[in-house]
Chains A and B, each alone.
Chain A
């Protein structure tokens, strides 16, 4: 006579014990600040934003009236630059337009008044269809998937290690001088985007769907084309993408109001305005934020 009863008990008890342990750890440490019940003074934001920025931002989202979407060029427009406005920056470094659009549908919880969507040329491409948003949303969807997630446990362990051992998990800066990094970004960094650039079709239809929805629901949609340095603007000729670039600008202009900073001129030629050919400095970002506020309030009036 085989002991099925003992077998069943061992499997279920073992499984429940481990899951409970894991769940309790994740509930107490709560590295993504889901429940905010226990505070050990852990560097949760630093670690969690590194582990899964989308998840972190989803969990901190509190239905503001204005959201900013896009990649790192939009992420630099920090919410605190928009004084007197209830703004949430819902952009992710390394993000794609697919992620930005999915984020919009998630963020649209009835309270939205305006959306600022950063659409730089290099992510306006069908070639980069990476979309990490659904995966992040899946983990945050219900308490069980969050508290039983190995990613949450890993982030919790990292937060503990950072606090109690002083170990840093921040992304290491590349061992390059500013000049070398500049060249790297113009070389392999640009080839990564421009070699594979392809005319967006699915992406464009999704953008149009979003534009139509905003029109129908009185949500102001503002497109923002971030500044790039002249060196990068010149690369379009090298990669034979000038026509595609012009067509992209035309399309975005047809879709709605556009704040276009990606133009040749004094600003674009001055390296002091940029961290690298793709990213402007904090100071420039503050000015852009001021322009955005100005434009939004003007249209409201």
Chain B
């Protein structure tokens, strides 16, 4: 049951929401939370009831271990807890990949039956590891199984994040007013949900059809020319952003509807002026996890320059591997690690020279960051190294540049370097170009929905100073008639486009 399904929008959500507030009114706040846990587990089980045991087992294990660790503050216990969580993740997510590589390296012939990756396992595993580590570091463990179960299973964030911390969720659960219906929270939540739904089903899914043929052709070893490669890669760049940030907006919106604030997860990442800035804006809760529970654990930047670079590479490589068991994800992570190292070196060189950053430099940084991120997406999207290198070859002009011959009258001046060929030249459909322009403008110049609604603070800031940054000139969201019409139109467009075949990219992680 995806957020962009009729079943979710017209059945699950209204029933869960009405029952939540009704139970709170008729019975008590506590019972409304019980209902929310039940609804969340039902939501999870809808995908495959068998795996309900897995998530329940994981919740039970980590709840008990958290209490044990708090009582004994034992290094051995925390190690066992983390290893058990990672072991489950490794079995479901990485066993096949490991066996496959072992067979290649050691020339063995081990065979492993296909293991179905349980939905959301990467997310709820990371969330609970962070919980155990926090408890080990001295945070109070959750004393109530109900609250703990809700912290892990709360359905808006269960499947694809944001990855939440107990310190930001638990205090909210205790407050009785969250289960008292608030028009403000509902209006804000509903608006964010519909904007997110629109981003996903209208924007991301529409541009996806221009990315897929290019990557599929490259994966089959077909030759991709310059414009096809860039068309396909840019289409994917926008697809993944609108897909995942749309999902996050929906999750935050749903949280608001239930009176619970979730942390912000995207802050217009393609407006980042450097790669460090990009990782402060893209999948912010994953970056936070990697930083606090991996990078700092490795020593962060406190153990000398070279060790810092090593830590960056390791952190980003494991971050890449978290996304999926495949060499393409590892390369993607390594690339981002290298980009971060270059950024760190550049920054220290610049501060040593005491140089002031000019406007031109900011813009150059923005373009360079964007291009680097786009190039790295090639590895993220391609299903094989052959596919990725095919696209890379195309994007660097090694396969020549071919354009649809309908463009020849306008672009004939490019003929020394461009070949004009056939009306169907290439795997990138020309109708994708307006999409790329419009989505590019949205990504580069528009504020994200959470920022537009920042007056109402719909999401939790996670220490990035999100709400303190300079406001944009774009009109802020207000609960007035004009915005109501805009949101209603977006909602209608989104709902009428929901019948398309589509899945959230991050569901597979």
- Please name the residue on chain B nearest to A134 by beta carbon: B501
Whether A148 contacts B491 in the complex (CB less than 8 A), given A2-B479, A8-B183, A129-B216, comes out as no
For the complex, what is the distance from the CA of A126 to the CA of B220, rounded to whole Å?
Answer: 8
A8 touching B496 by the CB < 8 A rule? no
User: A105: CB under 8 A from chain B?
Assistant: no
Chain B residues near A129 (CB-CB < 8 A):
216
Whether A8 contacts B488 in the complex (CB less than 8 A), given A129-B216, A150-B497, comes out as no
Whether A149 contacts B485 in the complex (CB less than 8 A), given A5-B183, A126-B220, comes out as no
Contacting residues of chain B (290-328) with chain A, CB-CB under 8 angstroms = none
User: B353: CB under 8 A from chain A?
Assistant: no
Identify 16 new A-B residue pairs, CB closer than 8 A, beyond the known A15-B491, A15-B492, A19-B492.
A2-B478, A5-B183, A7-B187, A7-B479, A7-B483, A7-B484, A8-B183, A8-B190, A11-B194, A11-B491, A127-B222, A142-B7, A146-B499, A148-B498, A149-B499, A196-B222
Secondary structure call for the A interface? helix
Question: Could you list 24 A-B pairs, sorted by A, with CB under 8 Å?
Answer: A2-B478, A3-B479, A3-B480, A4-B184, A5-B183, A6-B479, A7-B480, A7-B481, A8-B183, A8-B186, A10-B485, A11-B194, A12-B190, A12-B488, A14-B485, A14-B492, A129-B216, A138-B500, A144-B6, A145-B498, A145-B499, A148-B499, A188-B422, A196-B222
Query: Pick the contact of B496 from A127, A141, A150, A196 — CB < 8 Å?
Result: A150
Residue interface bits B187-219, CB-to-A below 8 A is 1, else 0: 100110010000000000000000000001000
Whether A198 contacts B481 in the complex (CB less than 8 A), given A22-B496, A148-B496, comes out as no
For the complex, what is the distance from the CA of A10 to the CA of B484, rounded to whole Å?
Answer: 6
Chain A residues near B220 (CB-CB < 8 A):
126-127, 198
- Please name the residue on chain A nearest to B483 by beta carbon: A7
- Please name the residue on chain A nearest to B188 by beta carbon: A4
For the complex, what is the distance from the CA of A10 to the CA of B187, rounded to whole Å?
Answer: 11
For this complex, into which size category does the number of interface residues on chain A fall?
20 to 34
User: A208: CB under 8 A from chain B?
Assistant: no
A10 touching B183 by the CB < 8 A rule? no
User: B487: CB under 8 A from chain A?
Assistant: yes
Chain A residues near B487 (CB-CB < 8 A):
11
CB distance from B405 to the nearest CB of A (A): 13
For the complex, what is the distance from the CA of A151 to the CA of B197, rounded to whole Å?
Answer: 19
CB distance from B200 to the nearest CB of A (A): 15
Q: Which 3 interchain pairs have the tightest Cβ spacing?
A: A14-B488, A10-B484, A145-B499
- Please name the residue on chain A nearest to B497 by beta carbon: A150
For the complex, what is the distance from the CA of A10 to the CA of B479, rounded to whole Å?
Answer: 10
For the complex, what is the distance from the CA of A196 to the CA of B485, rounded to whole Å?
Answer: 48
For the complex, what is the distance from the CA of A198 to the CA of B217, rounded to whole Å?
Answer: 11
Chain B residues near A192 (CB-CB < 8 A):
424
CB distance from A7 to the nearest CB of B (A): 4
For the complex, what is the distance from the CA of A268 to the CA of B352, rounded to whole Å?
Answer: 80
Chain B residues near A135 (CB-CB < 8 A):
500-501
CB distance from A139 to the nearest CB of B (A): 5
CB distance from B198 to the nearest CB of A (A): 12
For the complex, what is the distance from the CA of A22 to the CA of B499, rounded to whole Å?
Answer: 14
Residue interface bits A1-31, CB-to-B below 8 A is 1, else 0: 0111111101110110011001000000000
- Please name the residue on chain B nearest to A4 by beta carbon: B183
- Please name the residue on chain A nearest to B183 by beta carbon: A4
User: B10: CB under 8 A from chain A?
Assistant: yes
Chain B residues near A149 (CB-CB < 8 A):
496, 499
Chain B residues near A12 (CB-CB < 8 A):
190, 488
Chain B residues near A22 (CB-CB < 8 A):
496
- Please name the residue on chain A nearest to B486 by beta carbon: A11
User: B52: CB under 8 A from chain A?
Assistant: no
Whether A142 contacts B6 in the complex (CB less than 8 A), given A14-B485, A129-B216, comes out as yes
Chain A residues near B221 (CB-CB < 8 A):
198
CB distance from A203 to the nearest CB of B (A): 11
Of A15, A19, A196, most B-chain CB atoms within 10 Å: A15
For the complex, what is the distance from the CA of A11 to the CA of B191, rounded to whole Å?
Answer: 9
Contacting residues of chain A (141-161) with chain B, CB-CB under 8 angstroms = 141-142, 144-146, 148-150
Chain A residues near B418 (CB-CB < 8 A):
none
Chain A residues near B491 (CB-CB < 8 A):
11, 15
CB distance from A243 to the nearest CB of B (A): 19
For the complex, what is the distance from the CA of A148 to the CA of B6, rounded to whole Å?
Answer: 10
B497 touching A4 by the CB < 8 A rule? no
Whether A8 contacts B187 in the complex (CB less than 8 A), given A3-B479, A142-B6, comes out as yes
Contacting residues of chain B (466-504) with chain A, CB-CB under 8 angstroms = 478-481, 483-485, 487-489, 491-492, 495-501
- Please name the residue on chain A nearest to B488 by beta carbon: A14
For the complex, what is the distance from the CA of A13 to the CA of B112, rounded to whole Å?
Answer: 54
For the complex, what is the distance from the CA of A142 to the CA of B11, rounded to whole Å?
Answer: 13
CB distance from A142 to the nearest CB of B (A): 6
Whether A139 contacts B187 in the complex (CB less than 8 A), given A15-B492, A144-B6, comes out as no
For the complex, what is the distance from the CA of A193 to the CA of B309, rounded to whole Å?
Answer: 50
CB distance from B347 to the nearest CB of A (A): 43
CB distance from A196 to the nearest CB of B (A): 7
For the complex, what is the distance from the CA of A135 to the CA of B194, rounded to whole Å?
Answer: 23
B488 touching A15 by the CB < 8 A rule? yes
For the complex, what is the distance from the CA of A149 to the CA of B31, rounded to whole Å?
Answer: 39
Query: Pick the contact of B492 from A5, A18, A188, A196 — CB < 8 Å?
Result: A18
B495 touching A19 by the CB < 8 A rule? yes
CB distance from B253 to the nearest CB of A (A): 12
CB distance from B297 to the nearest CB of A (A): 42
For the complex, what is the distance from the CA of A289 to the CA of B361, rounded to whole Å?
Answer: 72
CB distance from A4 to the nearest CB of B (A): 4
For the complex, what is the distance from the CA of A100 to the CA of B175, rounded to whole Å?
Answer: 56
